[in-house]
Structure 1
């Protein structure tokens, strides 16, 4: 059944003439010769266009160092471990003080004196 339908339909009925091979050859028939330098360009009275100013891109900026394709990822991990291990800062703990009674070890939310005062 599909073979009969394929014989009845002509692809030229569904494709625009601009997509035909003959039209392509007509468009590109004349040769476009390149110019040797910009001095040969025709001068116009218009201001030359400037490049677009896209500004700062949104999101997180890219890394400053792009690793080469031949770099071994295992060496990268070793290098990162060396950096982390060389300078190690300990967290400094601080004591929590209550703003209601002024004692150490709890905050205002867990203060028992505040519970009695309410």
Structure 2
């Protein structure tokens, strides 16, 4: 309370109009320098999860995909590109082709 009373102990009288203002020599006061931040500006408020966006298109479908099913083995959870059974089968075929090539090469040398 003591600091409050010492801060406001002086009386400040209001000035009736602009013509009674004191004229100051020098440069007029300027606003502080503002530097524009990099990137996208922030929103004024965060939207609630239940609140719909104002620009949402009712005709556009959302990206909601079903369960991924492999076309090679028919199991769910992966596609044919990442199918382990397909990789194993192609590896077995490559081994068999390599064995036939070495067998054919050994016959041609005999």
Tell me which interval the TM-score lies in, with the shorter structure as reference length: 0.3 to 0.5
Q: Kindly name which structure, 1 or 2, has the bigger radius of gyration based on alpha carbons.
A: 2
The TM-score, its normalising length taken from structure 1, stands at: 0.34
